[in-house]
Amino acid sequence: MIASLLERGGDLVERADVCVIGSGGGGAVAAAELAAAGLDVVVLEQGHHWTAKDFSQREDEMLPRLFEEGGMRATKDGTVTILQGRNVGGSTVHNLCYALRTPDPILRMWRRQHGLESLTRDALNPSFARVEKHLRVKPIRDDEVNALNRIIRHGARQMGYSGFVTKHNREGCVQSGYCILGCSYDAKQSMLVTYVPRASQAGARIYANARADRIEAEGGRARRVLGSVVDLDGAVRGSIEVSARAIVLAAGAVASPDLLQRSGLGGSRVGRHLHVHPSVMAAGFFDDEIHAYRGIPQSYYIDEFIDLDADPQRGYVLMPIAAFPVLTATQMPGFGREHFHWMKQYARMAGLLVLLHDRSEGRVRPGHSLSRPEIEYRLNADDAQQLAQGLVHCAHVLFAGGARRVVIPFSPEPLVLERGDDPREILRRGVRQGEIPIASTHPQSTCRMAADATAGVVNEWGEVFDTAGLFVADMSVFPTSLGAPPQITTAALADRTAHHILERRAELFA
Ligand SMILES: Cc1cc2nc3c(=O)[nH]c(=O)nc-3n(C[C@H](O)[C@H](O)[C@H](O)COP(=O)(O)OP(=O)(O)OC[C@H]3O[C@@H](n4cnc5c(N)ncnc54)[C@H](O)[C@@H]3O)c2cc1C
Ligand code: SF4
């Protein structure tokens, strides 16, 4: 059952074996695995239950519907935009479907440097296999590589940079290109069309417009979730109380630490160690129209500048990016006529992102309201230098791919490079927060896994150190920055946590 508490009206009082908070990349997986094994599961999702018929392919309608703070969530100082989903299915509803497993050197580092001995490839393989089966992960076919990604692949090959066409989780994709606004064709195998229906068919009661406000524990054990029925603007329309013998917190790496801190749970490390995979963009302008926004947005992936075997804590990848007009406009330099000049060339524009495997850290703290946690993040000097170096490589790839001009959206003065100019000018300008748009689609690590409570918030199975029966199953449990697209790792760790709960069934649900 998937029900909107807004449409149903009134308050909600429920009792369940497990209450799952959040229905995105981690929560939906945990809910489905637990319900399929016969447990009584209630899911609380603050967002609305939008489906394919609601995905209008219009930015002005979909950004407010699908994204936290209407797509305007940002760090406290406004220098880093953070995109996160707020709907049944979470951020997977508008993600871009790169589907890669956790890199082996990252698992090795988590074992050796963070004491997480059981996180081996062999131990995770059953979880990866289940997740990839349900998300229908497969290689992207060559005929599915769109014009933007072909240009980037050509540029990378010209430069001799290593890259590959990735796997994805799409089935019957008509290559419309609207992934980031939700898939109107139900082709994207997001949680909305995979694990959420699976959980519902297995008997889970999934409530939309149901925000968890507080988790209560008694005698060191998780007991209940208190919350609010919220409308589309977040206004409170009723109250929620769910008593449960286990609670799985999967509200994402911003809301999960916020909720724990508001509940006085999780210890002193909650909200710390925020990594965001910060990204900056270069825009190439071509003589011919590319219509970069048509077709599968991201399929090629340049991994030349990340060697996790050599250094598991450093490096960056380059990813093609095509945004819709409003998002593009936020990245383009200038005002008035100057801005118009750049936007007129929209159809001839190709973007390339640097996505950094960051060591810089930030912090999430409760803000003045539940929907607006306070987020801080500062780039350290080495990370800023790597982003600048990455932009130089972006410029090389775009020129080698045929661009006549490359623009780096520095503010207030964009850097315009003509073919033949030396892109190392980017290094002289440098990447400084507030002087170039920085975006994050992968906030993580704010309730990190660790060997004990002095270093993190949850143990290697996702259980909160100071609260028995309270588990975290979302991107916030990553011990460090992942350095790769995170949805498969998030889902696999959530699957593993769910199966751990099932193994402890007799003790937890006695
Ligand atoms: C634009 C974009 C593109 C991306 N592209 C890729 C990609 O190509 N490949 C990849 O691997 N990853 C990608 N990702 C990341 C991927 O989507 C995430 O790894 C994954 O969704 C994380 O799952 P999660 O459970 O941590 O959080 P989410 O999926 O964000 O789910 C959290 C859920 O909790 C709900 N919630 C929050 N607070 C509360 C509360 N108090 N009460 C109840 N519910 C609450 C939210 O509404 C949300 O539905 C992308 C992300 C974005 C934003
Ligand atoms: S490109 Fe494919 S997955 Fe993306 S919105 Fe279009 S049909 Fe859906």
CB neighbours of 159 closer than 8 A, spacing ≥ 6?
393, 396, 397, 400
- Asked if residue 173 has its Cβ within 6 Å of ligand 2, the reply is yes
What pLDDT, on the 0 to 100 scale, is given for residue 503?
A: 97
Token readout for 141 is 């076919």
Q: Could you identify the atom of ligand 2 that is nearest to the CA of residue 186?
A: 8
> What is the pTM for the complete model shown?
0.97
> 65 CA to middle of ligand 2, Å?
18
Task: Identify the CATH number of the domain defined by range 2-54+85-134+185-270+447-508.
Answer: 3.50.50.60
How many C-beta atoms lie closer than 10 Å to residue 261's C-beta?
17
For residue 322, what are the contacts with CB-CB under 8 A and spacing of at least 6?
A: 148, 177, 292, 293, 297, 349, 350, 351
Q: Could you give the CA distance from residue 81 to residue 74 in angstroms, rounded to a whole number?
A: 4
**Phi, psi of 346, deg, nearest 5:** -50, -45
What are the extents of the domains in the chain?
A: 2-54+85-134+185-270+447-508, 142-168+279-357+380-432
Instruction: Write out pLDDT tens, residues 344-360.
Output: 999 999 999 999 999 99
Task: State the pLDDT at residue 326.
Answer: 83
Find out whether the beta carbon of 26 lies less than 6 Å from any atom of ligand 1. yes
- Name the token pair of 458: 């949850």
Indicate which residue's Cα is closest to atom 3 of ligand 2: 188
Q: Which residues of the chain have pLDDT under 50?
A: none
**Which H or E element spans position 110?**
helix 104-114
**Residue 370 has what pLDDT?**
80
pLDDT tens digits, one per residue of 329-342: 877 777 899 889 88
Q: What residues pair up with 164 in beta bridges, in sequence order?
A: 301
Rg (CA), the chain: 22
What's the whole-number average pLDDT of the chain?
96
Distance of alpha carbon 328 from the chain centroid = 20
Q: What is the pLDDT of residue 212?
A: 98
pLDDT digits (tens, 9 = 90+) for 269-283: 999 999 999 999 999
Q: What is the DSSP string of 411-444?
A: SSS-EEEETTS-TTHHHHH---TTSS-EEES--B
> How close is the Cα of 135 to the center of ligand 2, in Å?
14
Closest-CA residue to 437 (of 315, 307, 362, 329)? 329
Distance of CA 449 from the midpoint of ligand 2 (Å) = 34
